Amino acid sequence: MRKRETSVSAGVRAISIHKRLVLDKRENSDNWYARLSLENGTNIRRSTKTADLELAKEIALKIYYETEARIANNLPASTRKFRHDAEHTIKRMNDDLNAGLGKSAYNDYISALKVWFIPYFANTDINKINLKALTEFNTWRDEKREKWFSQSGINNHNAALNKVLDEAELNGWITKAMRPTLLNKGVATQSRGSFSNAEYNRLTRNLRDFHTTTSRPKAAATRETLRNYVMVLANTGIRHGTEALNLRWRHIDWYKKDDEKYLEFSVDGKTNSRSLIGRDSLSDILLRQSKLNPKLNFSDIDDLLKSKNDEFVFVNRLGERATVFNLSRAFNALLHNLSMKSGADDKERTLYSLRHYYATQDLSRGMSTHMLAKQLGNSTTMIDKHYSKVSPRLNADLHSGRTAKKTAAIKTDQTTSCPVCVEDIKAKAIKCKHCGEWLNKDANG
């Protein structure tokens, strides 16, 4: 086979070994690189890991014939280490998030890749990720965490790994036939602990001055924001974390229908974007939260929403954006102080429990699981799975026929000082249409 030096330009020395194989060597590199030009137009560049020209030629030819054999056997012409593929996938997801095109779930995928997959598979060829490798990884993951992941947690991990495998297949580093079947033997997800109405009212009462119980300015600022954060979660069903903390003021507006208007939130959900309606009581809570941000100065909720301000909603009075860690730590401290970390069912409460509380409140009002699923951004199957067993009890009055009787009784009740508002007093916290005072104020916080 003829071998000739073809060029010495731009600091690169190139020697032709074959019509589709060239050896390259740059001025600042000791080793020779084999450059293959495949018939499909793909170029592959591999280091021979030697500065010896004759040895480099032998290695380059070996690479060439091995590549030809792989193609003949319907295998990818080249492969990559898992770390390279995963980091490339993470960059793509970050680019999509920054451009406003990515799903909020991408943040969870990125975390799973960085914390679990890259440390374990870093130097493994992506085409070697098979069922055996994944089974060994699952064992390592459980041992490292010291308890089994939930099924939903493993679903998140599998989705992250699938993004990496998609990238590998797109770049020709694996073929579709080489993709492993991803398993999920996690612990079945249990419904989270929730709060009763009395417990929620107790929380909101204690949140009023919770920020005064610490001498640390940053902790106090977080606790002030926590008060409003808790109420937004409990009155919208928005997910704690990325979904809530990515809210900007421009994502909240009035939705007008006939002569009524409703607070509408546009959120980037776990799987897609959606709009939802918040409880009426949130207008004062949102205005109160805006006053914590040193950059904002609105005295009216209408002016605040009309501004379409790009500031994040949950910013404390120090001008810092609230974080999952700080809010969770403050909430856990409050639950501990009130001996409310676990409920009567022994299930642990977290900020996510406020979403569960919201769902049970809507179901207790007789809302269908289909309507609730649209508000929460879940499937009706998931709503039925977690709440169908408690729905009959939540709607006992509705099923028994007592709701109609109680409604009639309330309409004739003249004991309140505001008969105009009497119909709603027992259903929710409202403002008196005459005097502007809150009725059933504790429910509003």
pLDDT, tens digit, 9 for 90 and up, residues 207-227: 999 999 999 999 999 999 999
With bands split at pLDDT 50, 70 and 90, how would you rate the model's confidence at 419? very low
With bands split at pLDDT 50, 70 and 90, how would you rate the model's confidence at 427? very low
Range with the poorest average pLDDT among 4-13, 275-284, 350-359:
4-13
pLDDT, tens digit, 9 for 90 and up, residues 147-172: 667 777 888 899 999 999 998 888 77
pLDDT, tens digit, 9 for 90 and up, residues 372-402: 777 877 676 666 666 655 555 555 555 555 6
Range with the poorest average pLDDT among 87-91, 169-173, 275-279:
169-173
pLDDT, tens digit, 9 for 90 and up, residues 357-367: 888 887 777 77
| Mean pLDDT (whole number) for 139-146 | 82
Residue-level pLDDT at 218: 96
With bands split at pLDDT 50, 70 and 90, how would you rate the model's confidence at 414? very low
DSSP string, 31-47: S-EEEEE-TTS-EEEEE
Residue-level pLDDT at 84: 86
Residue-level pLDDT at 405: 61
| % of the chain surpassing 90 pLDDT | 33
Distance CA 413, CA 37 (A): 87
Whether the pLDDT of residue 416 is over 80: the answer is no
CA 83 to chain centre: 23
Residue-level pLDDT at 373: 76
Whether the pLDDT of residue 41 is over 60: the answer is yes
Tokens matching residue 192: 């989270």
> Which is nearest to 353 in space by CA: 375, 380, 379, 328?
328
With bands split at pLDDT 50, 70 and 90, how would you rate the model's confidence at 271? low
More confident site: 36 or 439:
36
Distance CA 357, CA 199 (A): 11
Tokens matching residue 359: 């769902």
> Which is nearest to 303 in space by CA: 259, 227, 252?
252
* Exposure class string for 396-405: b at 16+ Cβ within 10 A, else e: eeeeeeeeee
Residue 89 contacts by C-beta under 8 Å, 6 or more apart in sequence?
113, 163, 164, 166, 167
With bands split at pLDDT 50, 70 and 90, how would you rate the model's confidence at 120? very high
